[in-house]
Structure 1
């Protein structure tokens, strides 16, 4: 429940940021039009230094604020990616890649139709997410930016020994180990996503992280039911 409330607050915050950006653009256009129409005008508005004001929605639980056009433009520019955003995306690409490595073993080793369907669902969800994160990095120049983080230390990652054990398993033994490793893997992904939701600054990264939390929480519940 706490996680759901946290995600709701983060999504409300993203909406506030988008609203500020929209009103900033409108305000800028209004200000430009006023300048064009009032060239040479020495009226009261020009003398007082006044200009169009913008009502910006407040954060959850906070009242709306009235901003000048300049303040609105400045507020709209405060969602540039930070180091937490880059670190999360770079690590999660690798994290998802191992999930696909795990699901890639299922078809040939599992005897369970339910486990096979789960693996197909995970693959179908995480492949496009990798593509979206790679696209985000390209758009933001992330290929040239390294975080210096040890990807092998990411939460939830299966060790080489565990991977070898899974590759050697078959049938029911494989299914049991796969569900155990994938549950841990998902829990690690949720930890990473939760961290960037509190530390990151980019709206698109927040949306991707929120999707990871929602989808993988549901899959953990499914895997625990399958394991019982």
Structure 2
């Protein structure tokens, strides 16, 4: 009889849990929780537990730092690539620079939107915000950028490719530092996308230099 009474309570609780999951308009995006009956061990009554999606883990400081620094890192790649249309002599270099420009503008927009969606995580990791260029691997120095601005033709092509290879290799180091050091789906997917894209572009740039 005691088990029957527990089952009746569980049924009422299940109905209440189902209704409460649908009652709030503000929670329309979240999957409703539900109450399930868990049989007790011999001699113990049954019990009820709430089953449903758990609150996602907060992004880690490493993930916040990756997104913040990669925005600055990408910005320099855009600065370098913007010089190619007027200075590069090899159409392959101009094409590569155009692809880098288009892809990294989209990635910067995605990273900025992510940071806006995660203000608490950003505040916790505030010490990583505004990292200096020197702290990021692969960044070109002001002197190297000035040389690139002053170069034309084949000299520009070679300098751009060599600087961008180093720049991409720095980004891969940053990816390595954040991969699997968090649980945020957007950050981890973006890190893997950066890894695959920039590895392919490094191979392409080396092929152009060797041709």
TM interval, short-chain normalised: 0.7 to 0.9
Matches within 5 A, 1:123-134: 123-134=101-112
CA contact (8 A) 1:79 1:203 kept: no
Residue 166 of structure 1 is aligned with which of 140, 148, 157? 148
Residue 147 of structure 1 is aligned with which of 125, 128, 142? 128
TM-superposed CA distance for 1:77, in Å, is 3.6
Q: Tell me, which stretches of 5 or more residues in structure 1 are unaligned? A: 1-24, 36-42, 53-68
Counterpart CA distance in 1 for 2:104 and 2:190 is: 11
Question: Cα RMSD over matched residues?
Answer: 2.5
TM value normalised by structure 2: 0.74
Q: Can you list the C-alpha shifts for 1:168-190, whole angstroms capped at 9, x where unaligned?
A: 11100000000000000001111
What SS class does the counterpart of residue 47 from structure 1 fall into? coil
Point out 4+ residue stretches in structure 1 off by more than 6 angstroms. Answer: 43-46
Is it true that 1:191 corresponds to 2:191 in the alignment?
Answer: no
Matches within 5 A, 1:23-34: 29-31=33-35
Matches within 5 A, 1:14-163: 29-31=33-35, 47-51=45-49, 69=51, 73=53, 76-77=54-55, 79-141=57-119, 145-147=126-128, 149-163=131-145
CA contact (8 A) 2:88 2:157 kept: yes
Counterpart CA distance in 2 for 1:110 and 1:178 is: 9
Q: Can you list the C-alpha shifts for 1:189-208, whole angstroms capped at 9, x where unaligned?
A: 11101211132331110011
Counterpart CA distance in 2 for 1:222 and 1:86 is: 30
Q: Counterpart of 2:18?
A: none
TM value normalised by structure 1: 0.69
Counterpart CA distance in 2 for 1:216 and 1:126 is: 11
Q: Kindly name which structure, 1 or 2, has the bigger radius of gyration based on alpha carbons.
A: 2
Paired residues, number: 174
Counterpart CA distance in 2 for 1:212 and 1:117 is: 19
Counterpart CA distance in 2 for 1:102 and 1:90 is: 20
TM-superposed CA distance for 1:44, in Å, is 6.5
Residue 207 of structure 1 is aligned with which of 178, 189, 200? 189
